[in-house]
Chain A
Amino acid sequence: MSTQASSDGESQVDYTHTPWLDPSATPFIQIKNINKQFGAFTAVSDVSLDIYKGELFALLGGSGCGKTTLLRMLAGFEKPSSGSILIDGVDMGGIPPYERPVNMMFQSYALFPHMNVEKNIAYGLKREGVAKAERTERTKEILNMVELAEFAKRKPHQLSGGQRQRVALARALIKRPKVLLLDEPLAALDKRLREQTQFELMNIQEKLGITFVVVTHDQEEAMTLATRIAVMDKGNFEQIGTPAQIYENPRSRFIASFIGSANLLECTVVEREGNMYSVSQSSNSQAILVEYDGDLSIGANVTVAVRPEKIRVEKRSAVSSAVADGHNQLNGIVKEMAYLGRLSTYHIVTENDVMIEVTSPNQARYRDGNHPIDWDDEVTINFAPQSAVLLTE
């Protein structure tokens, strides 16, 4: 993602800014061993997390995994059962929501139905005691930023979903909080508007330099938006890392299948040469070579994870000799095929009866409509040992 390297002005983002790698950097938000019980039910269990200034941090996870609960604890609506939260070095324990340097954009937007757009947006400034003239000025400014100037006098129910969402964003931004919390900000929008708004969000975040914490259950959205992602499951963090780290180096089977899709093959280690492991699914099946930096003993149970787009598929009659060198190569038959325009997805059953999903870009144009690889074709698939990951959890 780091193509521009411009040095003029502060508004330009530094894509190489990676404070989480710097041990001397102080985190802006420190979540320390936070635990939240609702009666006997544990919604968030003993999580710790550091978020740095200017990050756009995503909390990603399935429904009911505790994302909203964690966000509400940051905002002050929910009290942690144990543990502490520090924002900019200040312990938030006992500080009510209306005194925290944090604003939240609600999942349902929560626009005040009896106030018009302008009043909704200016509400935070009014409560802060900002003088009327400045209030009007700043409201106008932010209305322009979210392109809603002509809707200033409308009531929320007279707006479209996307417009409401921008009002909610403007209302949460106008106080220039140190941290902006966004609970599924784009969930109510259709796909096109969502993608467009994702970029708007990123632009705004870059422009204002506010630290964003975004909750989402849409992994693509998290990948697009975030500097780092924490993947949550049942109140725990499964993995924390940059989108690329999480996608390319999933820590567990759960992550590998939750983020994107992956072929998961249950194997045992049969041989090792340096960091090149040879694993196989059963004693009589073909060995698979995987590069792995950890230390595993012969006979250990592992899972091989390969992303569908990292596998090449070719008709067996047309296998090019250039491929094979050092790559894993398996024979199979196409059981299902879906043409998606940009790419095609194949479900291929290998000789030892394992179903493997492969996606490949449709580089050539099939003018007669006939796909070069079709149902029931005999094919060969191959992937590099570096393209697969060994998972032990």
Chain B
Amino acid sequence: MNQKKSKFLVSCLIFGYAFLYIPIFLLIIYSFNYSPLLPVWGGFSTRWYTRLLESPEVWSATALSLQIAFISATVATVFGTLAGLALARLGRFRGKTVFTGMISAPLVMPEVITGLSLLLLFITLWQLTGWPEQRGMMTITIAHITFAMAYVAVIVQSRLAGTNQALEEAAMDLGAKPLRVLTDITIPMLAPGMMAGWLLAFTLSLDDLIIASFVSGPGSTTLPMLIYSRIRLGLKPDINALATILIVSVAIGVLVAGWIMLRQQKQRALLANQ
């Protein structure tokens, strides 16, 4: 009975993971397919990768995506950290619960809505102030900052909630003014969380299609947008290669973020045992 049950569970598991990962593996495998016709295996080759590297379109989209991801992750980390700090350290105030809940709302908001609302914001702003004249890299970056910030804030806040406020008081007791306490004690304590937040924000920005589509303008095509537009013209193997590269870089980002958080959890457990 028990064994049957576990067999059932194991097959569920295998089916689930297969469902998740077989498409991705297929994509990776086909990216090394010599034949330009998708379902036909024409032998192993890296020619689509070479072709990819020769396409100026791909290069510029990649550069744009990386720039946006880098800037938005960095800015989101700074703002998100400040927001997390404020929420965790401001003490109790009226409506704190509401604010805390609201900061994580962008995490569950459908991207279509986030994208649409940001587009509306930019249009309104343009009408009122004449800025932004053109939608493009700037607007995409701002859009990515707003939603990545929420992730960073949540990570920082949870990290702070688990730390000992006595450390900050001890620093203050030894003569550190509040700003000094922040740079000497709080930020170093938060560094792993901020790092994880940055990587997460970077990855999120790198693979966002929907929000970017809403707020981008002519001439500013990010990598996911490029892939999507090419696919609409028909499945081509060089897109598989591009997607493979994207998958690998996103996977690395998520793994490193996960590893940092795991290490930080272990450290915290160590300190808690002091």
Contact status A106-B166, CB under 8 Å: yes
Report if A217 contacts B (CB, 8 A). Answer: no
Contact status A124-B271, CB under 8 Å: no
Report if B270 contacts A (CB, 8 A). Answer: yes
Report the bound CA distance from A77 to B173 in whole Å.
Answer: 9
Report if B6 contacts A (CB, 8 A). Answer: no
Contact status A110-B271, CB under 8 Å: no
Interface hits, B228-274 → A, CB 8 Å:
267, 270-271, 274
Contact status B188-A127, CB under 8 Å: no
Q: Give chain A residues whose Cβ lies under 8 Å from the Cβ of B189.
A: 113-114
Report the minimal beta-carbon distance from B216 to chain A, rounded to whole angstroms. 42
B164, B166, B175: which contacts A124 (Cβ < 8 A)?
A: B175
Could you tell me which A residues sit within 8 Å of B by CB distance? 75, 77, 96-98, 102-104, 106-114, 123-124, 127-128, 156-157, 161, 164, 171-172, 175
Contact status A75-B173, CB under 8 Å: yes
Known contacts A114-B188, A157-B274; is-contact A106 B175 (Cβ 8 Å): no
Smallest Cβ-Cβ distance to B176: which chain A residue: A127
Interface size class of B (residues with CB under 8 A): 20 to 34
B170, B172, B175: which contacts A175 (Cβ < 8 A)?
A: B175
Contact status A106-B174, CB under 8 Å: no
19 contacts between A and B (CB under 8 A): A75-B173, A77-B173, A96-B172, A98-B173, A106-B166, A106-B169, A108-B166, A108-B274, A110-B164, A111-B170, A112-B185, A113-B167, A114-B189, A124-B174, A127-B171, A127-B180, A128-B175, A157-B270, A171-B170
Report the bound CA distance from A156 to B167 in whole Å.
Answer: 13
Could you tell me which B residues sit within 8 Å of A by CB distance? 164, 166-167, 169-177, 180, 184-185, 188-189, 267, 270-271, 274
A112, A127, A157: which contacts B167 (Cβ < 8 A)?
A: A112
Report the minimal beta-carbon distance from A163 to chain B, rounded to whole angstroms. 11
Contact status B164-A97, CB under 8 Å: no
Contact status A175-B166, CB under 8 Å: no
Q: Give chain A residues whose Cβ lies under 8 Å from the Cβ of B164.
A: 108, 110
Contact status A164-B173, CB under 8 Å: no
Known contacts A156-B274, A157-B271; is-contact A110 B176 (Cβ 8 Å): no
Q: Give chain B residues whose Cβ lies under 8 Å from the Cβ of A102.
A: 173
Contact status A123-B271, CB under 8 Å: no
Report the minimal beta-carbon distance from A103 to chain B, rounded to whole angstroms. 6
Known contacts A98-B175, A104-B173, A175-B174; is-contact A110 B167 (Cβ 8 Å): yes
Report the bound CA distance from A161 to B184 in whole Å.
Answer: 24
A113, A127, A172: which contacts B271 (Cβ < 8 A)?
A: A113
Contact status A127-B175, CB under 8 Å: yes
Contact status B175-A112, CB under 8 Å: no
Contact status B169-A97, CB under 8 Å: yes
Known contacts A108-B164, A114-B189, A157-B271; is-contact A98 B169 (Cβ 8 Å): no
Q: Give chain A residues whose Cβ lies under 8 Å from the Cβ of B167.
A: 110, 112-113
Known contacts A98-B177, A110-B164; is-contact A123 B171 (Cβ 8 Å): yes
Report the bound CA distance from A124 to B175 in whole Å.
Answer: 6
B170, B175, B184: which contacts A110 (Cβ < 8 A)?
A: B170
B172, B267, B270, B271: which contacts A97 (Cβ < 8 A)?
A: B172
Smallest Cβ-Cβ distance to A109: which chain B residue: B274
Report the minimal beta-carbon distance from A326 to chain B, rounded to whole angstroms. 57
Contact status A123-B174, CB under 8 Å: yes
Report the minimal beta-carbon distance from B2 to chain A, rounded to whole angstroms. 43
Report the bound CA distance from A270 to B103 in whole Å.
Answer: 74
Report the bound CA distance from A178 to B174 in whole Å.
Answer: 13
Report the bound CA distance from A123 to B185 in whole Å.
Answer: 11
Q: A97-B172, A104-B173, A123-B176 are in contact. List 10 more A-B contacts (CB 8 A).
A: A75-B169, A77-B173, A106-B169, A108-B274, A113-B167, A113-B189, A114-B188, A124-B174, A127-B176, A157-B274
4 nearest A-B pairs in the assembled complex, by CB-CB distance: A127-B175, A124-B174, A110-B166, A110-B170
Report the bound CA distance from A46 to B266 in whole Å.
Answer: 45
Smallest Cβ-Cβ distance to A104: which chain B residue: B173
A112, A128, A164: which contacts B170 (Cβ < 8 A)?
A: A112
Report the bound CA distance from A369 to B117 in whole Å.
Answer: 89
Report the minimal beta-carbon distance from B265 to chain A, rounded to whole angstroms. 14
Contact status A98-B172, CB under 8 Å: yes
